[in-house]
Amino acid sequence: MVGEQVAHGEELIRLNEVYKIFGPQPRGRAFDLARQGLGKNEVQRLSGHVMGLDNVNFSVNKGEIFVVMGLSGSGKSTAIRTVNKLHDITHGEVFVDGVDVQELAGPDLQAFRREKMGMVFQHFALFPHRNIIDNTGYGLKVQKMAKHERDAASMKALSLVGLEAYADSMPNQLSGGMQQRVGLARALASDPDILLMDEAFSALDPLIRRQMQDELMDIQDELQKTILFITHDLNEALRVGNRVCIMKDGAVVQIGTPEEILTQPATGYVAEFVQDVDQGRVIQVHEIMGALDPLDAKLSLDDAIKALGSRPGAFVVDESGKPTGLLTRDDATRAESMGSSDLSAALRTDFEVTAKTATLNENYQAAGRGLPIAIVDAKGVLEGTLDPREILEEMGRVETLIDGFEREVFM
Ligand SMILES: Nc1ncnc2c1ncn2[C@@H]1O[C@H](COP(=O)(O)OP(=O)(O)OP(=O)(O)O)[C@@H](O)[C@H]1O
Ligand SMILES: [Mg+2]
């Protein structure tokens, strides 16, 4: 995939020590209390001000999907709004592509928002009396782009979200999910570097929602946008995010890859969240992949058993490295006890095959057979083996980790 060749590294968005306090005197006593390290509830109790963001630090790299996840009121929307300066901040710095966002005003700010970013919200309102292509190109019209250019850009964006056939339809002819797609197309139409998505899929049915998540990831692979994605759903966060930032009471609790969040929750709060997640959906095969140590098809059964060592089984590969058979310890010893010395007679050919990027869940059923699973690349060449016991062990390990947190930490 194109996306995998692009280095995620260059920083595009950065929040430094950002505080946002709501109330009549945001820089007064409330801010002093916040700087002393008091949390949102105490600041509110003592000053009557609401702390929207509490010393938030994170950066979003070029080409990544960075997800901000947290419960209602945790500060997600406030955080995303600092990036396009829909909010002034109380303290700190926000940089986008090297630009100090707080310094922008007037036409500069407008141009910055228009050129750098597209936004998609939860309830995306279309203009009811404009057709889909005009709705998609509305932002470009505001920028005074000529009609034929605008339509070309809109059609391209609509095809990205699979709606090119609906260009001439009216909004009321589209389902809610399709209308939300138009919202995404509108954000894509001006081809911005950055997409800001605030609960963009949250109002959709689970099935449609999954489809939209898949499409977003496909679009991401193709176009390499930098996406700041907000959700209150941890499953969604772990599914679409390259990295996930978990917020609570305006503060960042943990930033990490989905695997890190799942397997190394930084606090009891995160661990409690993670408990509800289906681990197997997120952890990928390569994380528990065994060493690649295939057997030569020319070995005698005796030598193959020696080469097997303590492994429960190993694959035999042909000259091109493709697995042709599986020798399990049980099959080998049985054949040996029957006096056979022929390796090929002891091989199974009905083995299961998977890919490095498949999830544990996808291999759960196959693992139930209790046999090693072959991990192959796109050409069918063996890359490693998967011990079926590892799948269950890995899931169990995550559960143990979660149980290891003391109950009072959750409070
Ligand atoms: N304009 C405002 N005036 C006063 N308080 C605000 C304002 N906007 C947000 N807040 C407060 O700041 C905190 C963070 O709100 P924010 O909207 O960022 O939460 P959120 O994580 O996006 O929640 P949700 O999932 O409900 O959208 C909340 O306590 C909220 O009440
Ligand atoms: Mg919000």
CATH code of the domain containing 325: 3.10.580.10
Distance 247 CA to ligand 1 centre (A): 12
Among protein residues, the one whose CA lies closest to atom 22 of ligand 1:
77
Among protein residues, the one whose CA lies closest to atom 14 of ligand 1:
75
CATH code of the domain containing 242: 3.40.50.300
User: 382 and 262: one domain?
Assistant: no
Is the pLDDT confidence value at 1 over 60? no
User: 220 and 356: one domain?
Assistant: no
pLDDT band (50, 70, 90) for residue 409: very low
Final residue of a structural domain among 236, 257, 277: 277
User: 258 and 319: one domain?
Assistant: no
pLDDT in tens, 68-117: 999 989 999 999 999 999 889 999 999 999 999 999 999 999 889 988 99
pLDDT in tens, 319-374: 999 999 999 988 999 999 988 889 998 999 999 999 998 888 788 778 777 789 99
Task: Report how far apart the first and last C-alpha atoms of the chain are (Å, whole number).
Answer: 44
- Residue 280 φ/ψ, nearest 5 degrees: -65, -20
Is the pLDDT confidence value at 394 over 80? no
* Mean local confidence (pLDDT), 221-231: 93
Higher model confidence: residue 279 or residue 239?
Answer: 239
What's the per-residue H, E or C state across the chain?
Answer: CHHHHCCCCCEEEEEEEEEEEECCCCCCHHHHHHHCCCCHHHHHHHHCCEEEEEEEEEEEECCCEEEEECCCCCCHHHHHHHHCCCCCCCEEEEEECCEEHHHCCHHHHHHHHHHHEEEECCCCCCCCCCCHHHHHCHHHHHCCCCHHHHHHHHHHHHHHCCCHHHCCCCHHHCCHHHHHHHHHHHHHHCCCCEEEEECCCCCCCHHHHHHHHHHHHHHHHHHCCEEEEEECCHHHHHHHCCEEEEEECCEEEEEECHHHHHHCCCCHHHHHHHHCCCHHHCCEHHHHCECCCCEECCCCHHHHHHHHCCCCEEEEECCCCCEEEEEEHHHHHHHHHCCCCCCHHHCECCCCEECCCCECHHHHHHHCCCCCEEEECCCCCEEEEECHHHHHHHHHHHHHHHHCCCHHHHC
Residue 259: domain span: 2-127+193-277
Provide the pLDDT for residue 56.
98
C-alpha to C-alpha distance for 83 and 78, rounded to whole angstroms: 9
Is the pLDDT confidence value at 276 over 80? no
Provide the pLDDT for residue 405.
41
User: 292 and 213: one domain?
Assistant: no
User: 70 and 216: one domain?
Assistant: yes
Q: Could you tell which of 22, 236, 249 is best to mutate to test the pocket of ligand 1, judged by most ligand atoms within 8 Å of the CB?
A: 22
Ligand nearest to the CA of residue 87, numbered in listed order: 1
Distance 124 CA to ligand 1 centre (A): 19
Provide the pLDDT for residue 279.
64
Ligand nearest to the CA of residue 197, numbered in listed order: 2
Distance 44 CA to ligand 2 centre (A): 19
Provide the pLDDT for residue 207.
79
Is the pLDDT confidence value at 210 over 90? no
Do 15 and 94 touch, CB atoms closer than 8 A? yes
Report if residue 146 sits inside a domain: no
Provide the pLDDT for residue 395.
60
Among protein residues, the one whose CA lies closest to atom 2 of ligand 1:
22
Final residue of a structural domain among 236, 255, 277: 277
pLDDT in tens, 5-31: 344 569 999 999 999 999 999 999 999
Kindly report the pTM of this predicted structure.
Answer: 0.74
User: 325 and 230: one domain?
Assistant: no
Provide the pLDDT for residue 403.
46
User: 332 and 247: one domain?
Assistant: no
Is the pLDDT confidence value at 408 over 60? no
Q: Could you tell which of 42, 53, 54, 72 is best to mutate to test the pocket of ligand 1, judged by most ligand atoms within 8 Å of the CB?
A: 72
pLDDT in tens, 112-156: 998 899 998 877 778 999 999 999 999 898 888 999 999 999 999
Report if residue 159 sits inside a domain: no
Is the pLDDT confidence value at 407 over 60? no
pLDDT in tens, 282-331: 778 888 887 788 999 899 999 999 999 888 889 999 999 999 999 998 89
User: 330 and 250: one domain?
Assistant: no
Domains contained in the chain, number? 2
Distance 14 CA to ligand 1 centre (A): 21
- Pocket (CB within 6 angstroms of ligand 1): 22, 50, 52, 70, 72-78, 232
User: 121 and 223: one domain?
Assistant: yes
User: 324 and 345: one domain?
Assistant: yes
* Mean local confidence (pLDDT), 275-281: 68
pLDDT band (50, 70, 90) for residue 278: low
C-alpha to C-alpha distance for 64 and 81, rounded to whole angstroms: 19
User: 205 and 313: one domain?
Assistant: no
Report if residue 369 sits inside a domain: yes
* Mean local confidence (pLDDT), 195-212: 87
* Mean local confidence (pLDDT), 246-273: 90
